[in-house]
Amino acid sequence: MSSFFRQEVDAAVDALLLQQVILYPTDTVWGLGCDAEVPKAVENLYKIKGRPEGKPSIVLVADLKMLTRYVTEVPAGLEDAIAAQTRPTTYILPAARSLAPQLVGPDGTVGLRISQDEFCHKLVLRLGHGLVSTSANLSGEPTPATYADVDPRVMRSVDYVVNWRQDDTTTVAPSRVVRLGPDGQLEVVRD
């Protein structure tokens, strides 16, 4: 791991600990993020994005242990589903807890994804808890696959822009979203 990589992780974590909103490369698209446990930070992120209330965002976690911090019960089959996934997958899980209320769906669920991307993984590990992950676009506008696609208005609105992978032109689709039923059955919400 390069010193520049470590510096960018540290700078992003510093901003998050100050309850700020960051622009960062996720394991899928460029995203807006903040500490998932701080309602005021999530409120600021939603204002930047123009996201309507009642539309929850995904939360990135480092591992299954961190995931269990945010749900009261891990559904049967979740570990197997995670082990079998072949691309970034967000799981809609019941009984959300310990999160900013804006991140919890009307039915009490939360969308959680274990990030496999090295930068995001280190960022979440250093933060010590969940990181909001929503696409870095104004609500209703196209999702920015690369840094060059991010609207300048969004860039000017955030508190910190991560200087990592800004020149990467690789595009990855947004995460697959699945709902895991109590019986362990997967229902694809977005493929």
Would you call 88 exposed, middle or buried from its count of C-beta atoms within 10 A (0-12, 13-18, 19+)?
buried
What is the value of pTM for the model shown?
Answer: 0.94
Residue 69: its pLDDT value, please? 94
Digit-coded pLDDT (tens) for 157-185: 999 999 999 999 888 888 899 997 767 67
Digit-coded pLDDT (tens) for 45-81: 999 999 987 889 999 999 999 999 999 888 888 898 8
The domain made up of 3-190 is a member of CATH 3.90.870.10: yes
**Cβ–Cβ < 8 Å for 112, 70:** yes
Which token pair is 94? 């019941």
